[in-house]
Structure 1
Amino acid sequence: MSSQLETIAPGGVHRTDVCIIGAGPVGLFAIFECGMLKLDCHVVDALDMVGGQCTALYPEKPIYDIPGYPQVEAATLIDRLAEQAAPFKPNYHLGQQVTTLTPGQDGRWLVGTDKGTTIDCRAVLVAAGCGAFGPNKPPLDGLGEYEGKSVHYLVRRRQDFAGKRVVIAGGGDSAVDWAISLSEVAGRVMVVHRRAKFRAAPESAARLDQLAKDGVIDMVVPYQLAGLEGENGRLSGVKVATLEGEEKTLPADALLAFFGLAMDLGPIASWGLNVEHHHVAVNPATMATNVPGVYAIGDIATYPGKVKLILCGFAEAAMAVHAIHPLVHPGEALHFEYSTSRGVPGS
């Protein structure tokens, strides 16, 4: 469903109650919470799809700590959240980065994007995860020629690598998890790491080690990436080298480089918000920032005792939207009703 969402073309001025910055899982649930309190909202995300990191980085990876789902793939969770928000007819502005936040009239805010869109709103709800993110790239000559064709920094679909010779570089959870997963579909998986010890969860590292002992995965350690071979963006081999300079070439159709993400708050850092260690400080009772009318939820928000879990972000969304309600409807009493009593449009 997330790939079928209707989005609004860039440009123009749009007036609404709440502008949600970020369409990850917490931002999507905030749409639902706004709808339940009869608050209209517009949603902006720099990615051209909803779901944030769940969609961009690990759509097929299972998540185990979502209430009611003993196990759910990240992409499926996003589809369900988008479906849950759909009855409230959210307005999506995707593929646009919010660049400016300026005061409007009568206590309102003007949210501007890099595509010329302006959203005139009463409250701003920042659900931007850790801000803008991008992969840390290996320093290899000619890398750009192969990116998006045979060099990748994420896996959207396992089947894209079916039958291929895949080199995975890195020593963290992403490298180990995808090595294990792709070993089920790829023609061959080779893991390159500069040392034998991995930084992944112990259970995953143990499973990787067993797959290597069984001959399912090739462990290329201690080596690091040294170069690429191929033509027209298509790999034929990946050069690797030891710290002593000993080199060899791994026959490969694809390289997956997992060296972590570079996080950046981007323009958010210039909005006058209290920022602590690249996170926005909030009042945990209301998720309000130090700037009136601006709230933050999810991974970008910080307060004493903060736990970075999606389920905690869901609760923060509910608290923030309840705090926003009197700003949009001053003097109007909020008669709280459970969803089982109130229902949703079309139910």
Structure 2
Amino acid sequence: MTDTLRTPADRNLSPVFDEATAQEVDALIVGAGPVGMFAAFQLGLQGVQAHLCDSLPQMGGQCIALYADKPIYDIPGIALCTGRELAAKLQGQIQPFHPVFHGQSQVAQMLPHGDGRWRVQLQAIDGAPAQWLLGRIVLITAGVGAFVPKQLRLEGLEAWLGSQVFYHPVLGDAWLDQVLAEQAAPRIVVNGGDESAVEAVLAAAAHPALQAASLVLMHRRDQFNAPEAMLQNLAQLRASGRVQVVIGMPQTIDADSRLQGLGYVDAEGKDQQLACDQLWVYQGLSPKLGPLLDWNLALEKKQLQVATDTFQTSAAGIYAAGDIVSYPGKRKLILTGFYEATMAAMAAIEYLRGEKLLLEYTTTSKRLHARLGVSHPD
């Protein structure tokens, strides 16, 4: 990985691969957008459980990151849906196959194992320890790249990443147990001004485990880019005193053995201090190809080159589909990505099994119906 692409979480990377502790998987899909989810569906139909990893905390890719509530009109059979609705439909479609999702993770290293399998190291964006997978096939559906959080550049902040500082955290039970382990009533500062920041502070205010916590939403101006219903909810919480809004820009941290506070510049340009036990950063997401550039795969203009009959890359056992691939006549459409994902998944199945795949149809195949969990019509 090049230095320009490293993040604070890289301090948890381990160059040592231990096969005894690595998780063995048949198929790893890198990127859990629409194309990645449909690839998981096609693999599941053939009895292969897919693992998906994505830098975002939920499946959906660009549909969630860029146009969650914007209309999409060109999905076959669906006259109109939003990006969020399409992601939900695709996620529901793959549920019969119980895919495993590794959210807020990037592939930091991908190395040949020597027996046709691939050593893949997943790096957690939130600073948690990295983990190794040992995959028989890898299918890259990374779109325009991994959507990674924009970093808050404060000297010394990295030391608290994963313990008191979190980028785009998801309020799951296990994560909240970590947050509340040392303090039952933490002073939480949510930094950001877009929908994700507003949504986070609203969720924290409503969560039963955080009723004793103090909540501050910090942004450089008193305007927030979020749906009107969220803004109205935020206004009510401000009026009640449940959420405090601080207008300012973080400049320094106050810490000794723990993070204790933030120094910031307020709207009048004056230096101020704010108590802080937990800092949740929502400064937006930006797509980066990241370490994919270092995987020794054939690239042209930062896009993967593939064989259009199998959508295999220049490496055996590694396939690709979606906006990340390039070939003559390529059209960057979700519909095109669905086709490419289907072709890649079928070729990957043949690679895994060493035999030609029997083509079956979901309208008539008892085997496919059994995998989908539906009854076969007489």
State whether TM-score is above 0.5: yes
Offset at 1:169? 1.0
Of 165, 173, 177, 2:195 maps to: 173
Q: Quick check: 1:99 aligned with 2:107? A: no
Structure 1 pair 68–193 and aligned structure 2 pair: CA distance change class (3 A): closer
SS at 2:220's partner residue?
coil
Identity of aligned residues (%): 22
SS at 1:175's partner residue?
helix
Gaps in structure 1 of 5+ consecutive residues: 1-8
SS at 2:97's partner residue?
helix
Offset at 1:180? 1.8
For the Cα contact (< 8 Å) 2:216–2:246, is it kept in 1? yes
Of 201, 207, 221, 1:195 maps to: 221
Q: Distance in 2 between matches of 1:137 and 1:181?
A: 22
Q: Distance in 1 between matches of 2:172 and 2:354?
A: 48
Residue type of the alignment partner of 2:252: G
- 2:68 aligned partner: none
Structure 1 pair 175–142 and aligned structure 2 pair: CA distance change class (3 A): same
Q: Distance in 2 between matches of 1:68 and 1:267?
A: 29
Aligned residues: 303
- 2:42 aligned partner: 33
Residue type of the alignment partner of 2:269: G
- 1:304 aligned partner: 331
For the Cα contact (< 8 Å) 1:56–1:154, is it kept in 2? no
Q: Quick check: 1:139 aligned with 2:159? A: no
SS at 2:168's partner residue?
coil
- 1:127 aligned partner: 141
Offset at 1:98? 4.2
Q: Distance in 1 between matches of 2:243 and 2:25?
A: 53
- 1:288 aligned partner: 311
Q: Distance in 1 between matches of 2:42 and 2:134?
A: 23
SS at 2:293's partner residue?
helix
Q: Distance in 2 between matches of 1:331 and 1:175?
A: 49
For the Cα contact (< 8 Å) 1:273–1:289, is it kept in 2? no
For the Cα contact (< 8 Å) 2:119–2:133, is it kept in 1? yes
For the Cα contact (< 8 Å) 1:98–1:111, is it kept in 2? no
- 1:4 aligned partner: none
For the Cα contact (< 8 Å) 1:239–1:247, is it kept in 2? yes
Q: What is the RMSD computed on CA atoms of the aligned residues?
A: 5.1
- 1:341 aligned partner: 366
For the Cα contact (< 8 Å) 1:28–1:82, is it kept in 2? no
SS at 1:335's partner residue?
coil
What TM-score, normalized to structure 2? 0.58
* Superimposed CA distance per residue, residues 164-195 of structure 1 (whole angstroms, 9 cap, x where no aligned partner): 33211112222121122212244332211112
Residue type of the alignment partner of 1:233: R
Q: Distance in 2 between matches of 1:130 and 1:282?
A: 16
Structure 1 pair 330–287 and aligned structure 2 pair: CA distance change class (3 A): closer
Q: Please give the residue correspondences for 1:247-266 in structure 2 after superposition, counting only pairs within 5 Å.
A: 247-261=271-285, 263-266=287-290
- 2:204 aligned partner: 182
* Superimposed CA distance per residue, residues 184-231 of structure 1 (whole angstroms, 9 cap, x where no aligned partner): 24433221111233344455345434543454422212x101222244
SS at 2:57's partner residue?
helix
Residue type of the alignment partner of 1:144: E
Residue type of the alignment partner of 1:65: E
Offset at 1:29? 5.6
Offset at 1:30? 3.2
Structure 1 pair 29–140 and aligned structure 2 pair: CA distance change class (3 A): same
142-151 vs 323-332, greater mean Cα deviation: 323-332
- 1:3 aligned partner: none
Of 143, 149, 152, 2:163 maps to: 149
Gaps in structure 2 of 5+ consecutive residues: 1-16, 62-82, 122-130, 374-378
* Superimposed CA distance per residue, residues 215-251 of structure 1 (whole angstroms, 9 cap, x where no aligned partner): 4422212x1012222442242x322213653022223
Q: Distance in 2 between matches of 1:287 and 1:306?
A: 19
Of 217, 224, 245, 2:249 maps to: 224
For the Cα contact (< 8 Å) 1:298–1:312, is it kept in 2? yes
What TM-score, normalized to structure 1? 0.62
